[in-house]
Amino acid sequence: SRPTKDIYLNDEFFSSVFESLTDEGIVVAQVGTAPTIHDPAAHRGVFKNREKLFNLFEAHAAAMFVYEDPHCGFQEPHSFVIACKSTSCRKRWYARSNAIDYQIYERIVETKNDNLALVHYDGATHSQFQYAPKAWETIYCRREPMPYECNFRGLDLREEIFEFDVDPEKSSFSIEKKGKWSGRSVRKSIY
């Protein structure tokens, strides 16, 4: 039989895990020491098994989130991945801190000894986890071939954004038989 560690990098195992989840189910896994921006591409470094694990999560999950926690009792920050069976978990993950506080209040159970169930976690704490650290973004964009969304890193957020919408009143552009047209002048460097 194969060693136990190989089961976590097995597609059959991941399929079974995701099939056993409810429609709104999630999987949370601790995935080791947090990377730095100086780490090589994940498939080339010491974390190549973590990259294989992420590829399996990506194949089965509808949404994924990575966060780091420096307060886990290790000498270095450790990373966690949350993989969701449904994309609806994005709404909860990116909720405002007051909505998170409300959900905690509504859903947390009382302990038998009257101690707090959560000591260091609230909506404000959660908001610090909502966006992946820069090192994770950097490592992700070192994949070969580079993922498409990495082309949009470093955009100037002060520039005006022009949106396309099927409702002509909301759209900055219109589509006609001859091509796309803007209702006003659009500089080359803006989005």
As a whole number, mean pLDDT of residues 136-164 equals: 83
> Residue 98: what pLDDT?
96
Q: How confident is the model at residue 55 (pLDDT cuts 50, 70, 90)?
A: very high
Is the pLDDT at 191 greater than 70, yes or no? Answer: no
> Residue 116: what pLDDT?
84
Exposure class string for 45-62: b at 16+ Cβ within 10 A, else e: eebeebbebbbbbeebbe
Bridge partner list, 82: 28, 65
Q: How many whole angstroms separate alpha carbon 97 and alpha carbon 118?
A: 15
Average pLDDT for the chain: 86
- The residue type found at 155 is L
Residue with tokens 């159970």: 109
Summarize pLDDT for 65-116 with one digit per residue, the tens.
999 999 889 999 999 999 999 999 999 999 999 999 999 999 998 899 988 8
As a whole number, mean pLDDT of residues 17-45 equals: 94
Higher pLDDT, 95 or 152: 95
Q: How many whole angstroms separate alpha carbon 95 and alpha carbon 100?
A: 6
